[in-house]
Amino acid sequence: MTKALDTPPVASSTASALRRSLRLDVRLLGLLGVLILLCVIGIITRPETFPTQENLSTMLRLAAAIGVVSVGMTFVIIAGGIDLSVGSIVALSSVWMTTLATQSYGPFVMVLCALLVGLGCGLVNGVLISYGKVVAFIMTLAMMVSARGLAERLSDRRTQVVTETGFTEFFRASFLGIPVLVIVLALVFVVGWIVLNRTTFGRRTFAIGGNAEAARLSGINVKRHTALVYGISGLCCGIAAIMVVARTTSGASTNGLFYELDAIAAVVIGGTLLSGGRGSLIGTLIGVLIFTVLRNIFTQNNLDTDIQNIAQGAIIVAAVLLQQTTSRRRKRKPATSEPGPQPTQATGSQS
Amino acid sequence: MDLSLHAVSADEDAKPLLAMRGIVKTFPGVRALDGVDLEVKAGEVHCLLGQNGAGKSTLIKTLAGAHQPDGGEIVWNGERVTLPSPVAALKLGIATMYQELDLIPTLSVAENIFLGHERARYGFTRPAAARAETAKLFERLGHAEISPDEEVGELSAAGQQLVSMARALAHDAKLIVADEPTAALASDEVDNLFRIITELTASGVAVVYISHRLEELRRIGHRVTVIKDGRTVSANLDARESSTSELVDLMAGRKVQTAFREAGAAAVEFGDTVLDVRDLRRDGEFRDVSFSVRAGEIVGLAGLVGAGRSEVLETIFGARGADAGTVSVDGKRLRSGSVAAAVKAGVGLAPEERKSQALLLDMSVTHNVTLASLDDYSTVGFTQRSRETKDSLSTLERLDLRPADPWRLVRTLSGGNQQKAVVARWLVHGCRVLLLDEPTRGVDVGARAELYRLIHELAATGVAIVLVSSEIPEVLGLSDRVLVLREGDVLADRPAAELTEGDVLDMVMEGSAA
């Protein structure tokens, strides 16, 4: 952040852009380091089973659905919101797409059904939050409870097996050795990254999360945009539901349990601010992978899930603490080159 | 200016309760207090007069222990003291009633009054004791009907003012600082407040009273101290004997002319009418506001804070819906209450609270600059990043925003440069009308001159500008035409050259028409 007044402005801007991307990388590199460390632990403790292609493919397949949900969650949190209903929307979509009636129309209708149910739930969240002014936490909490309730009612609490073999075969297949589920995750991630970083929609999402009032006074339709962001999250849940159904060949109202917690944890350790305005999808993806690898190591070493949960909690706190120290350092540095906070009373806020 | 300092310093009576001498307080880039003297005797109502920005708030915050002075001394009861914290000030017996009431609306009256010095034993609160004491305080204030259990948020403005007063008394205050206590009160409530103040002073409590209403000073004030630009220009005048014009002249001082447009350049030819505001009204805020601005013209809105100036700007911009009246740009009527319509028609607003209303502090200058024009910088939704950078860089250079680094985070810029970033947003958008609300707030002196130059340059390119500022010299110096507002009414619409600072002060101060 040194001033480059002597160099031509263009040169300084490219240099600064470079520094900017490097700084981003420093934060992500730390996360990547944690991921690699976990992999090393896995290789050391289970050298014969951990670093196999089969295990890698299992891990990625397990990570795929939660990864897609986390992409949507990243949008919501960057826009300054929160979505607690993702797990229940996955359950409802998975149940709705596997009812006998839906299955009778074939695989395409099943997929379409899951996407529409997910998108619909997300939009209901979004419309009531932005136009109905219901607090996001409360609205999505209500959706979390009632969507799962509706899923239980639709399925009669039974597991609905998928009889449509074309559907399961397609999604359980591999393409060039890569499971289709992983390809879907990659596609969702890439599309999400482009939308967030290369489109006006993404820019406005950051702007609304960073300062909703400033966005409004710049002529941005903050309400409509917020509603759409929740729609995206719902749509991601619909995609995730398809993936869960494909993996388990069944739809059940117990699907997607605690997805909201896993997704929020992955987003937060990925460096996205819970208060909104700043975040990264790459960080989210690494966050998802960290938790997946952690779980895999515990399973492979036959360790109890309670220790796994403790470790998971510790990682979340450690990651957030780490980010706070880096962001503090970034804030302190420029303070030397600027006059600092200006006293408002000195310039006329008196009467 | 310093001649009058010791003119009325003969104090034949008792030793002063409080004496502040040569108080200096600087903030980065601003010298808020530059040698203020204030002397208060027990049992008097001492009025503090000064324009917006004169340093009154800084002075009372220093007295309350909220700010630490960089120089000067404070003498309390004949002893030199320091006030390292608000608690220290309260312990001495100095209580402050801030203008923006610092009460917690969700707590009860009694809880608010004893906040920070709760009636407690072994860490357990004693609500009954607090309630009983609160009831006694309100009895003393003549308002026994206010229940200690009532939630403060439920009370009227006058009721909250009383709670604030009761809290000062609960601290056993010997000196109460009241910052515009009547600003939110109706006239009968004002009478009651004055009765209470009179009773308090009769019992030996001193009051430092700040108000813009000169007739109030005559009613309850004993002595007056006038400050301007962080200095005491006249101390210990007699509140009843001093004439209005004398006080206004002292507050206004000499006319500030630096950095404003030269008198010779006043006869500029303006273009066609760009912005036309007709009979605009918002209930409870302002009424019947009509004016038009031609291309290249700067129209200033003068008035005190709360006169409805910012509200007028935000209503023109569509951030607030109008209850009546129309806003037209280039003859086309704007949809009321729609920011998008205003932006599309080429209206831009640089709002009063730059940081909370305009800027994305953790985003780059470029992203802030193009925020209102994203549709112009995208093809089928994809942002054109290189064009964005190029245009924002050329705008930064045009505005001389330093450093001219389009990727720098806005948070790290100084106040003046942040303001330029806001202006740049509307320049890039190609605005026809620019609404500037307190453009120089939080901007240091050097950067102010630059902003003034910039505003004139923008006008010269044909932008119609509406300017709001609390500093009357700034409005007069920058504008071609000035509208004076008081409590939502337009009192005057005149060429700036025909108005003096004293004229405007006369108009905005209720009851001070000499």
Which residues of chain B have a CB within 8 Å of the CB of A349? 52, 57, 305, 441, 470
Listed residue (B154, B193, B155) closest to B176, CA to CA: B193
What is d(CA B98, CA B66) in angstroms, rounded to the nearest whole number?
A: 12
Which residue reads 């999402």 in tokens?
A205
Cα angle B94, B177, B212; round to 5: 165
DSSP state of B355: I
What is d(CA A174, CA A53) in angstroms, rounded to the nearest whole number?
A: 13
Q: Provide the token pair at A83.
A: 């979505």
Per-residue pLDDT for A22 more than 60?
no
User: Which H/E stretch holds residue B486?
Assistant: strand B481-486
CA B370 to chain centre: 30
Q: What are the CA-CA distances from residue A91 to residues A85, A245, A259, B423 (Å)?
A: 10, 10, 10, 49
A302 touching chain B per CB within 8 A: no
Q: Provide the token pair at B343.
A: 């932006």
Instruction: Indicate yes or no: CB of B367 within 8 angstroms of CB of A207.
Output: yes
CB A71, CB A192: distance < 8 Å: yes
Q: Give the nearest partner residue to B359 out of A199, A200, A211, using CB atoms.
A: A211
Looking at chain B, how many residues does it have? 514
CB B470, CB B304: distance < 8 Å: yes
Would you say the CATH fold of B290-508 matches that of B2-93+173-252?
yes
pLDDT in tens, A194-221: 999 989 899 899 999 999 989 999 888 9
Residues 6+ apart with CB under 8 A from A279: A74, A77, A78, A206, A209, A267, A270, A271, A272, A273
Confidence of residue A147 (pLDDT cuts 50, 70, 90): very high
Per-residue pLDDT for A13 more than 70?
no
Q: Give the nearest partner residue to A345 out of B57, B304, B367, using CB atoms.
A: B57
- The SS3 call for residue A60 is helix
Among the ranges given (A10-14, A76-80, B303-307, B424-428), the one the predictor scored with the smallest mean pLDDT:
A10-14
* Interfacial A residues in 253-282 facing B (CB < 8 Å): 277-278
Q: Provide the token pair at A197.
A: 């970083």
Instruction: Note the pLDDT of residue A142.
Output: 96
What is d(CA B383, CA B390) in angstroms, rounded to the nearest whole number?
A: 13
Instruction: Indicate yes or no: CB of A348 within 8 angstroms of CB of B413.
Output: no
Helices in A48-159 by DSSP H: which ranges?
A: 53-78, 86-97, 100-103, 107-130, 136-155
Q: Tell me the domain boundaries of chain B.
A: 2-93+173-252, 102-172, 290-508
The whole-chain average pLDDT of chain A stands at: 84
**Cα four-point dihedral sign B376, B379, B384, B390:** negative
What is d(CA B418, CA A236) in angstroms, rounded to the nearest whole number?
A: 38
Taking the CA of residue B223 and the nearest CA in chain A, the distance in Å comes to 20
Looking at chain A, how many residues does it have? 351
Which residues of chain A have a CB within 8 Å of the CB of B53? 346-348, 350
Residues 6+ apart with CB under 8 A from B267: none
Q: Give the nearest partner residue to B367 out of A203, A340, A343, using CB atoms.
A: A203
- Give me the half-sphere count of Cα atoms (radius 13 Å) on the Cβ side of residue B350: 30
Nearest CA in chain B to A207: B360
Q: What are the CA-CA distances from residue B488 to residues B280, B414, B468 (Å)?
A: 11, 33, 14
Instruction: Note the pLDDT of residue A25.
Output: 63
Cα angle A348, B1, B2; round to 5: 110
Instruction: Note the pLDDT of residue B155.
Output: 84
Q: Give the nearest partner residue to B362 out of A10, A203, A277, using CB atoms.
A: A277
Q: Provide the token pair at A81.
A: 């919101």
Do the bridges between strand B18-27 and strand A174-175 make them parallel or antiparallel, or are there none, so unpaired? unpaired
Give the residue, A181 or A5, on which the prediction is more confident: A181
CB B278, CB B258: distance < 8 Å: no
Nearest CA in chain B to A347: B53
Instruction: Indicate yes or no: CB of B57 within 8 angstroms of CB of A216.
Output: no
pLDDT in tens, A250-275: 989 999 899 999 999 999 999 888 88
Taking the CA of residue A36 and the nearest CA in chain B, the distance in Å comes to 30
Q: Give the nearest partner residue to B339 out of A207, A216, A349, using CB atoms.
A: A216
Taking the CA of residue B13 and the nearest CA in chain A, the distance in Å comes to 32
Per-residue pLDDT for A240 more than 70?
yes
Which residues of chain A have a CB within 8 Å of the CB of B306? 351
For B242-385, where are the E strands, in sequence order?
273-282, 286-294, 298-302, 324-329, 332-333, 347-350, 378-379, 382-383
Classify burial at B12, counting beta carbons within 10 Å of its beta carbon; exposed 0-12, middle 13-18, buried 19 or more. exposed
CB A237, CB A72: distance < 8 Å: yes
Listed residue (B478, B25, B259, B233) closest to A345, CA to CA: B25
Instruction: Indicate yes or no: CB of A10 within 8 angstroms of CB of B393.
Output: yes
What is d(CA B231, CA B226) in angstroms, rounded to the nearest whole number?
A: 9
Chain A with chain B: Cβ pairs closer than 8 A: 182
Instruction: Indicate yes or no: CB of A201 within 8 angstroms of CB of B381.
Output: yes
Residues 6+ apart with CB under 8 A from B3: none
- Give me the half-sphere count of Cα atoms (radius 13 Å) on the Cβ side of residue A1: 18
Instruction: Indicate yes or no: CB of B374 within 8 angstroms of CB of A213.
Output: no
Instruction: Note the pLDDT of residue B268.
Output: 63
Instruction: Indicate yes or no: CB of A218 within 8 angstroms of CB of B425.
Output: yes
Instruction: Name the amino acid, one letter, at B286.
Output: F
Give the residue, A248 or B123, on which the prediction is more confident: A248
Q: Give the nearest partner residue to A211 out of B360, B372, B414, using CB atoms.
A: B360
> B290-508 maps to which CATH number?
3.40.50.300
Instruction: Indicate yes or no: CB of B413 within 8 angstroms of CB of A198.
Output: no
Residues 6+ apart with CB under 8 A from B152: B103, B104, B105, B106, B107, B108, B109, B112, B160, B163
In this prediction the ipTM stands at 0.74
Instruction: Note the pLDDT of residue B271.
Output: 86
The strand pairing partners of B466, in sequence order, are B299, B435
How many beta carbons lie within 10 A of that of residue B437, not counting itself?
A: 24
How many beta carbons lie within 10 A of that of residue B189, not counting itself?
A: 17
Instruction: Name the amino acid, one letter, at B334.
Output: L
Instruction: Note the pLDDT of residue A194.
Output: 93
Instruction: Note the pLDDT of residue A97.
Output: 93
Which residues of chain A have a CB within 8 Å of the CB of B371? 203, 207, 214-215, 218, 220
Cα angle B227, B231, B236; round to 5: 50
Residues 6+ apart with CB under 8 A from A134: A128
Instruction: Note the pLDDT of residue B447.
Output: 75
**Cα four-point dihedral sign A218, A221, A227, A230:** negative
CATH 3.40.50.620 fits B2-93+173-252, yes or no: no
Instruction: Note the pLDDT of residue B312.
Output: 92
pLDDT in tens, A296-312: 998 888 888 888 888 88
Instruction: Indicate yes or no: CB of A351 within 8 angstroms of CB of B30.
Output: no
Regions in chain B scoring below 70 on pLDDT: 1-14, 29-30, 100-101, 253-268, 444-446, 510-514
SS (H, E, C) B267-301: CCCCCCEEEEEEEEEECCCEEEEEEEEECCCEEEE
Instruction: Note the pLDDT of residue A326.
Output: 60
Residues 6+ apart with CB under 8 A from A332: none
A348 touching chain B per CB within 8 A: yes
